Amino acid sequence: MTVPTDQHKELKKDVTFRIFRFNPQVDSKPYFDDYTIPVERGITVLRSLNYIKEHIDASISFRAFCQAGICGSCGMRINGLSQLACTTQVWDVLVKSKEPGVIKVEPLRNLPLIKDLIVDMDPLVGKMKHYSNWIESTMPESSMGKKEFLVSEEEFLRYDKATDCILCASCVSECSILRANKEYVSPAVLLKSYRMNADSRDALHEQRLAELVKDHGVWDCTHCYRCQETCVKSIPIMDAIHGIREDAIENRGMKDTSGSKHAEAFMTDIAKKGKLVEATLPIRTNGVIWTLQNLVPMAAKMIMKRRTPPPPPLVKSAKGIKTFREMFKEMTEHVKQDHKSHKK
Partner 1 sequence: MKRYAYYLSCINESMTKEVDRSIELWQKELGLDFVKLHEGTCCGGSNLDYVSPKHFALVNGRNIALAEKMGLDLVVSCNTCLMTIRSAKKKLDESPELKKEVNDILKKEGLQYKGTSEVRHLLWVLIDDVGLDTIRQKVKVPLKNYRIAPFYGCHILRPSAVLGHDNPVDPSSLDQLIEALGGATIPYKHKNRCCGFHTLLVAEQESLNVAAEALQEAIEAKADFIVTPCPLCHTSLDGYQAKALKNAGIESSIPVFHLSEMVGLALGYSAKQLGIKRHIVG
| Phi/psi at 304 (5° precision) | -60, -35
269 binding partner 1? (CB under 8 A): yes
- Cα 121 to its chain centre, rounded Å, is 16
Stretch of residues binding partner 1 (CB under 8 A), selected from 22-30, 84-92, 193-201, 274-282:
274-282
Q: How far is the CB of 139 from partner 1 (least distance, A)?
A: 31
Q: How far is CA 27 from CA 31, 75, 163, 215, 333, in A?
A: 9, 23, 40, 37, 65
> Are the CB atoms for 236 and 225 separated by under 8 Å?
no
User: How do beta strands 31-40 and 75-78 pair?
Assistant: unpaired
- CB of residue 208 to partner 1, shortest distance in Å: 18
In sequence order, which residues have a C-beta less than 8 Å from that of residue 304 and are 6 or more positions away? Answer: none
Contact 185/127 with Cβ under 8 angstroms?
yes
Q: Of 227-256, which residues contact partner 1 (CB under 8 A)?
A: 228-229, 236, 238, 242-243, 245-246, 249, 254
Closer to partner 1 by CB, 226 or 233: give it.
226
CB of 244 to partner 1, least distance (A): 9
Would you call 245 helix, strand, or coil by DSSP? helix
Nearest CA-CA partner of 129 in 215, 204, 226: 204
Q: Does 6 bind partner 1 (CB under 8 A)?
A: no
Of residues 199-228, which lie at the interface with partner 1 (CB under 8 A)? 219-226, 228
Q: What is the Cα–Cα distance from 254 to 258, expressed in whole angstroms?
A: 9
DSSP string, 187-222: HHHHHHHHHHHT-TTBS-HHHHHHHHTSTTSGGG--
Residue 273: which residues within 8 A CB-CB, separation 6 or more? 315, 316, 317, 318, 321
Residue 35 or 184 with smaller CB distance to partner 1: 184
Segment 278-337, which members bind partner 1 (CB under 8 A)? Answer: 278-279, 281-282, 285-286, 294, 298, 301-302, 305-310, 315, 318-320, 323-324, 326-328, 330-332, 334-335
Burial class of residue 4 (count of CB atoms within 10 Å of its CB; 0-12, 13-18, 19+)? exposed
As measured in angstroms, the least distance from the Cβ of 99 to partner 1 is 12
Output 61 or 97, the one with its CB closest to partner 1.
Answer: 97
Tell whether residue 56 is a contact of partner 1 (CB under 8 A).
Answer: no
In the complex, the residues that contact partner 1 under the rule CB under 8 A are 80-81, 96, 176-177, 179-181, 184, 219-226, 228-229, 236, 238, 242-243, 245-246, 249, 254, 258-259, 262-264, 266-267, 269-270, 274-276, 278-279, 281-282, 285-286, 294, 298, 301-302, 305-310, 315, 318-320, 323-324, 326-328, 330-332, 334-335, 338
